[in-house]
Amino acid sequence: MKLDALYPPIEPYDSGMLIVGDGQRIAWEVSGNPEGKPVVFLHGGPGSGVSAWQRQFFDPEKYRIVLFDQRGCGKSTPHAGEPAADLRFNTTAHLIADIELLRRNLGIAKWLVFGGSWGSALALAYAQAHPDAVSELILRGIFTLRRVELEWFCDGGAAVLFPELWEEFIAPIPVLERSRMTEAYHRRLSDPDPAVHVPAGVAWAKWEASIVTLRPDADVLAAMTEPSAAVALARIENHFFLHRGWLSEGQLIAGVDRIRHIPAVIVQGRYDAGTPMMTAWDLHRAWPEAEFVVIDDAGHAASEPGIQQALRDAADLFADD
């Protein structure tokens, strides 16, 4: 992965495990300048966890950079890749509460909220629930869990671009179950037998990894299909998709009035096949006050060069505010 547009690698100066209730602990870290402008990075998936390179979007001399693994993934416990994983306490509302608890525990009054893909949905939901805690928003690869978005990913929409990959995704599912792929995968991902849930998790993660970059990326594919990570991602993602994020249809776009006053930048790849541009466009139309940046030679992934540069530029824009 080339990160030419980003800042050099840095290491955290603080980290820990935050007890958030329901038997859950979330792993967090802080890097950059302890006296800098606070920013929180909301990862995608849901269930993908954070990576060290994601610190590099932010000027380490100007930002106090907070990364954390959402419930059930990364270094947070209990891990959703474990056979006995219980996702009852993993919902959008729980994650919003976790973000607020982390903010208060770190003594932060307001922070910039930076989220991509599922992280953009969580950022919108969090900001709409706690607008006074958000100084700015940077959103990438917009996803709001509307029916049409989920059907694109789970029920064959993206097959028009990736027919051979779609065939691989549906192959583990009997023909009579293929009209409801989310439910079919849910049954297999919930099965306690590793011989059932591990192949299902890898197949789900492979489908996602194969469509999120403009060109095939072997590093992304390898990272996302590592069995434990793949099962956690697939289980949590499928769980959220099955419940449509516990959101009403169109809720996050309809709720823009609560955050219209917050400075924001929306970054979207023109050829995003994971979260197609229709959703970013709908958000832009509802929220014209937010800066809207379209990268014409990019897909979905934040690691793509044009998206990297646009996200760093957005973070630099807000660094001194």
Residues labelled catalytic: 117, 272, 300
3-state secondary structure 12-45: CCEEEEEEEECCEEEEEEEEECCCCEEEEEECCC
Closest Cα to residue 317, out of 92, 49, 69, 138? 138
- What one-character DSSP code corresponds to residue 178? T
Residue 79, both tokens: 């891990």
Neighbours of 84 (CB within 10 A): 6
Block residue for tokens 């646009």:
310
CA distances from 218 to 6, 173, 215 (A): 21, 25, 10
Block residue for tokens 């840095």:
10
Expressed in percent and rounded to 5, the helix, strand and coil fractions of the chain are 45, 15, 40
Instruction: Write down the H helix ranges in the chain.
Output: 92-105, 118-129, 147-154, 163-170, 181-189, 194-211, 218-224, 227-242, 251-254, 277-286, 305-318
- What one-character DSSP code corresponds to residue 3? -
The C-alpha atoms of residue 128 and residue 254 are separated, in whole angstroms, by 10
Angle between helices 194-211 and 163-170 (to 10 degrees): 170
Q: What is the chain's length?
A: 321
Task: Tell me the longest C-alpha to C-alpha distance in the chain.
Answer: 58
